[in-house]
Amino acid sequence: MGTAGLAQAEAFLEMLSAERGAALNTLDAYRRDLEDAAGFLATRKTTLLSAESDDIRALIEDLADRGFAPSSQSRRLSALRQFYRFLHTEGMRGDDPTGIIDSPRKARSLPKILSVEEVSRLLEQAEADIANAETDFEKRQKIRFRALLELLYATGMRVSELVGLPERVLADGGRFLVVRGKGNKERMVPLSGPAKAAVAEWIKARNAARLDGDDEPEWLFPASSDSGHLSRQVFARDLKSLAGRAGIPTRLVSPHVLRHAFASHLLANGADLRAVQELLGHADISTTQIYTHVLDERLRQLVTEHHPLAKNAINRDEARNHTVARGK
């Protein structure tokens, strides 16, 4: 990054970390975005600090030419908007060159989800894997995975939240989890009976394998990694492996797909959109509204099944079809 933007960019990243509690992955993404922008702006003989609106517009056009999807272009523009607002607030610039630039239009795709039957197959396979384990170590690994899977489907946590749960996360006798999400915000998520039992079995198995003198675990799912806990990549890999054994195409299964399944299955069974927003940890209801296709179908069925005129219309259609069939 050019020296004309380096100090300001680092100050911006420090603000995101200190004031907004941004995660390391988020900070790395912003740093890459700013470095890429600085590289492009250098070809236009300008810098992050002195770029004008035309330069930012040309940057977005360049991203499109390089094959970046509209969603990726929007994310890059969002990073720049926040950077320039920071510069303006701190008195480093008197204007915001991104202010008059429209975000690239993007189609909002429906989230991939698994059916209830497919999730049940995953859970059944995880249970079978425990029974088929050949060593105590393998059995502990399978018990750990089953606890992670039950927790993910029962709470809809982000995978980073799941693997990074601290040891003392259970609240109110284990009926709730206190989850620390984006922006360091906490939310309380209720635990289902199966999830609670799976976690209890994991803790029992984990503690039984501890040696005398071992320190108390800091994390619910400790591991010999830099972070001290299981990595999200390891869990995602094990989840795809489980899907293959359960006869479900691995391309359809990921931790985020299970988060979508949690939300969609709740809504399909009568949950309120605001409640699901709270459980998912979405700051804005518009993020949760990607699931409105589930609500649309539920409301259509509600009207079809319970509205008297709709039921009469269905009966008339069935009678008409029956008459036509008899006349053939």
Tens of pLDDT, residue by residue over 242-270, are 999 999 999 999 999 999 899 888 888 88
Give the model's pLDDT for residue 270: 81
Nearest Cα neighbor of 191 from 179, 177, 173 is: 177
Model confidence at 204, pLDDT cuts 50, 70, 90, reads very high
- pLDDT over 60 at 318, yes or no: no
How far apart, in whole angstroms, are the C-alpha atoms of residue 9 and residue 14? 9
CB 161 within 8 A of CB 155: no
Token pair in block for residue 29: 């993404």
- pLDDT over 80 at 286, yes or no: no
How far apart, in whole angstroms, are the C-alpha atoms of residue 264 and residue 269? 9
The predicted model gives 9-16 an average pLDDT of 91
Residue 202 one-letter amino acid: W
How far apart, in whole angstroms, are the C-alpha atoms of residue 22 and residue 32? 15
- pLDDT over 50 at 324, yes or no: no
Q: Is 237 exposed, middle or buried (0-12, 13-18, 19+ CB in 10 A)?
A: exposed
pLDDT one-digit tens code per residue, 46-92: 999 999 999 999 999 999 889 888 888 888 999 999 999 999 999 99
- pLDDT over 80 at 4, yes or no: no
Model confidence at 181, pLDDT cuts 50, 70, 90, reads confident
pLDDT one-digit tens code per residue, 85-132: 999 999 999 999 998 888 776 655 556 778 999 999 999 999 999 999
Model confidence at 296, pLDDT cuts 50, 70, 90, reads low
The lowest-confidence range among 3-7, 170-174, 222-226 is 3-7
How far apart, in whole angstroms, are the C-alpha atoms of residue 128 and residue 68? 43
How far apart, in whole angstroms, are the C-alpha atoms of residue 50 and residue 56? 11
Exposure class string for 103-135: b at 16+ Cβ within 10 A, else e: ebeeeeeebebbeeebbebbbebbeebbeeeee
Give the SS3 label for residue 227. coil
Q: Does the CA dihedral 231-233-237-242 come out positive or negative? A: positive
H helix runs in the chain, sequence order: 3-20, 24-43, 53-65, 70-89, 116-132, 136-155, 159-163, 193-208, 232-245, 255-268, 273-280, 285-288, 292-306, 308-327
Give the model's pLDDT for residue 326: 47
170-171 β-sheet, strand order: 170-171, 176-180, 186-190
Active site (catalytic) residues = 158, 182, 256, 259, 282, 291
Q: Count Cβ atoms below 10 Å from residue 279 Cβ, excluding itself.
A: 21
Give the model's pLDDT for residue 253: 94
